[in-house]
Amino acid sequence: MLTQLFNNTKARENIKAIAIGEFKDIEDIDMLNEVILEKATELNILVCNGFKITHNKIKDTIPIGVKADFDTKNGIIKLTEPYVI
């Protein structure tokens, strides 16, 4: 799924940063982190992981297309415009 996203021209042109959620039942997290870091470096974008934006029971919801400030140093995403969930 990540490969499809990164191969999408429109996504590549518009992506500014990547917020990675928690992964459940993944066998090789190091390989996944390596792929994400490689793509982030290639696209010259920021990446931060560990967000509760998953399919797990306890999760946060981030609406698609809403403008936000992404503080990768502190791991904070702040939505900066009105939205409806």
The full set of domain ranges for the chain reads 2-79
Which pLDDT score is estimated for 53?
87
What pTM was estimated for this model as a whole?
A: 0.71
Helix, coil or strand: residue 56: coil
Nearest partner of 46 among 64, 66, 68, 62, judged by Cα: 68
User: 14-33, pLDDT tens digit by residue?
Assistant: 888 888 888 878 888 888 88
Confidence of residue 43 (pLDDT cuts 50, 70, 90): confident
Which pLDDT score is estimated for 81?
94
